[in-house]
Amino acid sequence: MKLSFYGHSCFSVEIMGKKILFDPFISYNELASAIDINGIEADYIFLSHGHADHIADAIAIANRTGAKVVANWEIHEWLNKQGIQNTHPMNTGGKWTFDFGTVKAVVAQHSSGLPDGSYGGNPLGFVFMSEAGNFYYSGDTGLTLDMQLIPIWAKLNFAILPIGDNFTMDVSDAIKCAEFIDCKKIVGVHYNTFGFIKIDTEAAQSAFKSAGKSLLLPGIGETVEI
């Protein structure tokens, strides 16, 4: 699988020939000023929750690409009202088989209000299962015991976890999460974008290494084979 990082919690994974974009927040992210949202291709856009730092560019990219947007019920309805009709609603605990594989929506412990104050439902994480491999994107979340359920559903090749603290897990909780989900290869997101979530990335990588796990921190605009 190929993973491209676009800053903050925005990344895309290419599986089974489909480009799947997550939580687009690019044009408002100073650190991602080199990325042109008009150059990003997407067959699907998955939204973990309604906060602006996860959906700010979703409508623009969905309009241009025609990508199917997958999110919880309330965000799906909100998108429909904004004129985005190609959506797929999910909710916690459910799964659906798309043309690239199956996705299970899982618990995330966070909040989800939309930028205009609309109710954004519950935040979600996603477990992707495909012939190319399996991965988990937790979305914004604290460490939760529910993560221990994930190995029952999928043997993960990698996971994308927030590590920036303050709003989400910090590095040590992300390491504990990696144990809960039985996964050695973690891509860190949701760090360094704003003052509240600035971290020491070298210390983070050595903490993962000491725990027998690897923390990948691709540069903004970088694509890695994973």
Judged by the rule CB under 5 A, the positions of this chain that interact with Mn ion are 53, 140
The residues of the shown chain that bind Ni ion, judged by CB under 5 A, are 51, 140
Angle (deg, nearest 10), helices 73-81 and 58-65:
70
- Cβ closer to Mn ion: 191 or 208? 191
CB of 177 to Mn ion, least distance (A): 16
Q: How far is the CB of 146 from Ni ion (least distance, A)?
A: 18
Nearer to Mn ion, 53 or 74 (CB): 53
Closer to Ni ion by CB, 43 or 140: give it.
Answer: 140
* Cβ at position 40, least distance to Ni ion in Å: 21
* Residue with tokens 């973990």, as numbered in its chain: 48
Distance of closest approach, residue 38 Cβ to Mn ion, in angstroms: 24
Helix, coil or strand: residue 78: helix
68 binds, among Ni ion, Mn ion, none (CB under 5 to 8 A by kind): none
Measured at the CA of 90, the angle between CA 24 and CA 29, to 5 degrees, comes to: 10
**What 8-state DSSP symbol labels residue 110?**
S
95-97 and 102-107 as β-strands: parallel, antiparallel, unpaired? antiparallel
Which CB, 89 or 164, lies closer to Ni ion?
A: 164
CB 193 within 8 A of CB 170: no
- Token pair recorded at residue 208: 């993962």
Nearest residue to Ni ion, using CB?
Answer: 51
